[in-house]
């Protein structure tokens, strides 16, 4: 099942997207917290503005260096345990929303295409074999990163947490096996990342288990599972598309701050 959050100029609503990704059937309520029912109203994806499918009320947990080839290209070792960082929910934007590069703060911004996991139930100290029970679904993320701030600050709060630096979308896919999905990133139509989730150092279940030992996970929390090799610079005027088979495409233009 694919669940989209969208607007036609009024308040945001949720809907079920068909298998072709073209039609949306509106539902009542927020599927993360309520039982949903079809309203009988339908529309097409082309007629609406897709929004970020979830705005976390609590947190976004990023995972660094979870692909050995990406760690190597950045000159880093693979950590023995998942390397976690937090991203504020104010960084979230949706499909086709601009990613704003704050030119007064950074001159070295990179794209990072990733598979994102959305938590559906409150949980703590989950074992890997129990992780599937707390997953609501999956979406696509672009973990935008200011490399110069990463190096200069010595930690990643600003580098990965600035406004608009966490595009999510285009919708939530609830029926997905995350073991081996392709992750492809294109910059202005050119393929720059071509990886598979099977190359993760720590799989989805292990990441959820590890995160839940430190943080109580709440419905709507998002875990960014890391990026494969091929990260690189993106500048104002360029567009980045992240494609994951069985989900769709997340596309965002990059613009300079005024």
* CATH assignment of the domain containing 42: 2.30.30.370
Token representation of residue 58: 């609590």
> Mean pLDDT throughout 129-150?
98
pLDDT number for residue 9: 85
Are residues 92 and 163 located together in one domain of the fold?
Answer: yes
Same domain for 44 and 167, yes or no, is: no
Of 30-34, 202-206, 232-236, the poorest mean pLDDT is in 30-34
Evaluate whether residue 8 is within a structural domain: yes
Shared domain for 109 and 165, answered yes or no, is yes
Confidence of residue 48 (pLDDT cuts 50, 70, 90): very high
| Domains contained in the chain, number | 2
Quote the percentage of the chain above a pLDDT of 90.
Answer: 90
17 inside domain? yes
Question: Mean pLDDT score of the chain, rounded to an integer?
Answer: 96
Residue at 31 is within a domain: yes
What tens digit of pLDDT does each residue of 77-111 get? Answer: 778 899 999 999 999 999 999 999 999 999 999 99
**Co-location of 40 and 107 in the same domain:** no
Looking at the structure, tell me whether residues 209 and 141 fall in a common domain.
yes
E-assigned strands of the chain? 2-7, 13-17, 23-27, 38-44, 49-50, 60-64, 83-87, 92-93, 99-101, 109-111, 113-119, 135-142, 145-146, 166-173, 182-187, 190-196, 222-224, 232-233, 239-244, 248-256
Residues 68, 44 share a domain:
no
Q: CATH code at 124?
A: 3.90.850.10
8-33 pLDDT, tens digit per residue, is 988 999 999 999 999 999 999 999 99
* Helix (H/G/I), strand (E/B), else coil: 63: strand
Listed in sequence order, the DSSP H helices in 37-146 are: 68-73
pLDDT of res. 178 = 95
What whole-number percentage of the chain has pLDDT above 70?
A: 100
Assess whether pLDDT exceeds 90 at residue 66.
Answer: yes
Are 90 and 180 in the same domain? yes
Q: Tell me, what's the pLDDT at 80?
A: 87
Same domain for 73 and 40, yes or no, is no
Q: Verify that 208 and 120 share a domain, yes or no.
A: yes
Does residue 219 fall inside a structural domain?
Answer: yes
pLDDT at 70: 86
Flag whether 55 is in a domain: no
Q: How confident is the model at residue 213 (pLDDT cuts 50, 70, 90)?
A: very high
Instruction: Using pLDDT thresholds of 50, 70 and 90, give the confidence band for residue 71.
Output: confident
| Residue numbers of the domain that contains 100 | 60-256
């Amino acid at each position: 099942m694919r669940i989209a959050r969208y607007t036609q100029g009024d308040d945001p609503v949720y809907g079920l997207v068909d298998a072709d990704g073209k039609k949306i059937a509106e539902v009542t309520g927020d599927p993360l917290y309520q039982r949903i029912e079809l309203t009988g109203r339908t529309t097409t994806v082309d007629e609406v503005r897709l929004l970020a499918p979830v705005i976390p009320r609590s947190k976004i947990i990023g995972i660094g260096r979870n692909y050995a080839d990406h760690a190597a290209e950045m000159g880093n070792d693979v950590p023995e345990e998942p390397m976690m960082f937090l991203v504020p929910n104010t960084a979230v934007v949706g499909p086709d929303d601009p990613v704003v590069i704050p030119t007064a703060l950074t001159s070295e911004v990179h794209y990072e295409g990733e598979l994102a996991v959305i938590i559906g139930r409150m949980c703590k100290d989950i074992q890997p074999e129990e992780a599937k029970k707390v997953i609501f679904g999956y979406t696509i993320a672009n973990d935008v990163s200011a490399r110069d701030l990463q190096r200069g600050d010595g930690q990643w709060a600003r580098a990965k947490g600035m406004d608009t630096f966490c595009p999510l979308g285009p919708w939530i896919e609830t029926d997905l096996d995350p073991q081996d999905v392709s992750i492809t990133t294109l910059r202005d139509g050119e393929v720059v990342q071509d990886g598979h989730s099977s190359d993760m150092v720590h799989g989805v279940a292990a990441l959820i288990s590890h995160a839940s030992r430190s943080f109580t996970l709440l419905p709507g929390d998002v875990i960014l599972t890391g990026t494969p090799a091929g990260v690189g610079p993106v500048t104002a005027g360029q567009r980045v598309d992240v494609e994951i088979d069985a989900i769709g495409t997340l596309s965002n233009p990059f613009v300079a701050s005024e």
